[in-house]
Chain A
Amino acid sequence: MNAQTRRGFLVGAGGAAAGLVAAGTSANADPQYWIDLPMANGRRPLERFPQKGLMIVQATRPPILETPFVVFDRDELTPNEYHYVRWHLAGIPTTVDVNAFRLKVGGLVNKPLTLTVDQLRRDFSPVELVAVSQCAGNSRGLFNPRVAGGEWANGGMSNARWRGVALKEILARAGLGAGAKQVAFSGLDRGVLPATPQFRKALDADFATGGNAMIAYEMNGRPLPLLNGFPLRLVVPGWYGTYWVKMLDTIDVLDHVEDNFWMATAYRIPDTPGNTVTPDQTGYKTIPISKFRVRSFMTNVDGGRVLGAENAADPRYPLRFRAEIRGIAFDAGSGIKKVEFSEDGGKTWRETTLGRDLGPYSFRKWHTVWDARVGNGSYTLACKATANSGDTQTDVPVWNPAGYLKNDIEKYKVNV
């Protein structure tokens, strides 16, 4: 692949200032901005959806919106307006009234609950935690060979400070009945056809009652945008976004393992070493996807350049180019131990400086100073994170037919 265009370019606009204004008027179905993601058929419109900033549109209906990568160069916390969006079914309520909303906890429980959002805020002790959400298919469009599905570049992920109630506390109040095997979660979204099964995901009962999953009513100190799950969303730190059920209104304790399409067919990975297979391989077992793999990215290198460093050559030393390289890293919750930087495509590495620690499930920023010799022309920059768990990144890409778990070392061609 062409590493120079890894993030994609903004390709079309009706002039900078005029285009910005026009893009805000979404009554017009003609997009004013387009971006070329680095893949075949990679051109996407950008558009503003309600309560959202200008996002890369993977799909309009149901809405599937990718975060433009430049956003990750700012704060560790992705602004709510730029938190990525992924819905499965187009029957999304366009009005949600908190006063009418109820969270129901039922199924195999001793005491079914019906809770208002106010009760969740008032009757339970709040928990707060910073956690990355990442679509299972994030980076799917960068698979080689390509696979069908939502063709994301790397922006199917976001980081937020979540505040809400611990799932285990709610389940403890309801009391799981004997023989509870899984806990299923669903929200207000529906298929357009009455016959379309609801989007519903399940966690093992032990995990749901013992882990740090939570039901969030705030992200970054504000109510969730409707498209990110207002008023309540399940947060499963370190696990892929498929479990982070939006507009969560039903918790159903099961005496069996959920066997619907979303658990038994979709969102599954090969149960093979490294969860990787070859394109012609068949006959292997699959298991539900769960935890993230460790990843790292550069956030200010794009299109063959270090952004904001175009004039970084010191006039006293015209043959040298000095620039700060910045990025992010995260894993499934052990925390980032180190991020290494390479200017020679991964032949040699040196450690970078980590930014502030917002908790083990958060993006961790990193930065380093890169001195290049201008005469050398082209460099391949690379970054590699190692987690406290010991997991690290390699050059060997994972491949599976659904396009999950990509985390090989990111490389960026740069000309100076």
Chain B
Amino acid sequence: MRAAVLAAALFCALGVLAVAQGQQKITVTFPPPLVQFKNGPNLGVAQANCLVCHGADYIYTQPPLTRAQWTAEVNKMRAAYKAQIADDDVPKIVDYLLSQNGKP
């Protein structure tokens, strides 16, 4: 039943959207964040650093990660994406991430 409702919702939407054709210029507005940072230690530090480039979604969809794994994620943001994260903030952000979705 639930799957049938989903199917109905999906294909109803199709009819509504199948009108925009042959456009030469497209302007869109993206929806606001659907997932927020939840309360935890160093919430402000995490938000100030992470939200510059991306939303909170992936924090909560990962399998629970260890300190080493979350530290690697934060370091990837610095090394690959050149995020301007202060050295002192790295362990604080990792503590926050562990509080949200950590594995001992």
Interface residues of A (CB under 8 A from B): 7, 9-11, 13, 16, 19-20, 23-24, 26-27, 29, 31, 33, 35, 39-42, 44-45, 47-54, 57-64, 68, 70-71, 74, 79, 81-82, 89-90, 92, 94-99, 141, 145-151, 191-193, 195-197, 222-223, 226-227, 230, 261, 265-266, 302-303, 307
Contact present for A196 and B34 (CB under 8 Å): no
B6 nearest in chain A by CB position? A10
Residues of chain B within 8 A of A98, CB atoms compared: 24-25
Q: Which of A39, A45, A192 contacts B52 (CB 8 A)?
A: A192
How many A-B pairs have beta carbons closer than 8 Å: the answer is 181
- Interface-side segment among B37-45, B54-62, B88-96: B54-62
Q: Which of A10, A41, A94, A192 contacts B27 (CB 8 A)?
A: A94
Contact present for B53 and A196 (CB under 8 Å): yes
Whether B86 is near chain A, meaning CB under 8 Å from some CB there, is no
Residues of chain A within 8 A of B26, CB atoms compared: 51, 95-96, 223, 226, 230
A227 nearest in chain B by CB position? B28
Pairs A–B under 8 Å by Cβ, sample size 28: A23-B9, A26-B31, A27-B32, A31-B34, A41-B101, A47-B31, A49-B28, A49-B31, A52-B17, A53-B17, A57-B57, A58-B57, A60-B32, A60-B35, A62-B54, A63-B30, A70-B6, A81-B13, A82-B10, A94-B27, A94-B28, A148-B69, A191-B53, A192-B53, A195-B82, A195-B84, A227-B28, A307-B4
Contact present for A99 and B20 (CB under 8 Å): no
Q: What's the least CB distance linking B25 to chain A, in Å?
A: 4
Could you tell me which residues of chain B, from 33 to 85, have a CB within 8 Å of some CB in chain A? 33-35, 52-55, 57-58, 60-65, 69, 73, 80-84
Q: What's the least CB distance linking A76 to chain B, in Å?
A: 16
Contact present for A70 and B82 (CB under 8 Å): no
Knowing A29-B32, A48-B13, A94-B29, say if A70 contacts B63 (CB, 8 Å): no
Residues of chain B within 8 A of A230, CB atoms compared: 26
A91 nearest in chain B by CB position? B53
Residues of chain A within 8 A of B31, CB atoms compared: 26-27, 29, 47-49, 60
Interface residues of B (CB under 8 A from A): 2-14, 16-18, 20-35, 52-55, 57-58, 60-65, 69, 73, 80-84, 101
Q: Which of B14, B30, B80 has the most CB of A within 10 A?
A: B30
How many Å lie between the Cα of A149 and that of B13 in the bound state? Answer: 30
Q: Which of A54, A58, A63, A196 contacts B82 (CB 8 A)?
A: A196
Contact present for A151 and B24 (CB under 8 Å): no
Contact present for B2 and A9 (CB under 8 Å): yes
B2 nearest in chain A by CB position? A10
Contact present for A68 and B82 (CB under 8 Å): no
Q: What's the least CB distance linking A188 to chain B, in Å?
A: 12
Query: What 10 pairs across the A-B complex have the smallest Cβ distances?
Result: A50-B28, A146-B63, A195-B82, A26-B31, A59-B57, A61-B55, A10-B6, A53-B13, A95-B27, A261-B80
Residues of chain B within 8 A of A51, CB atoms compared: 17, 20, 26, 28
Q: What's the least CB distance linking A337 to chain B, in Å?
A: 31
A266 nearest in chain B by CB position? B80
How many Å lie between the Cα of A44 and that of B25 in the bound state? Answer: 31
Residues of chain A within 8 A of B24, CB atoms compared: 97-99
How many Å lie between the Cα of A330 and that of B101 in the bound state? Answer: 36
Residues of chain B within 8 A of A50, CB atoms compared: 28-30
B61 nearest in chain A by CB position? A151
Q: Which of B3, B60, B80 has the most CB of A within 10 A?
A: B3
Q: Which of A9, A13, A60 contacts B33 (CB 8 A)?
A: A60
Residues of chain A within 8 A of B17, CB atoms compared: 51-53, 81
Residues of chain B within 8 A of A13, CB atoms compared: 5
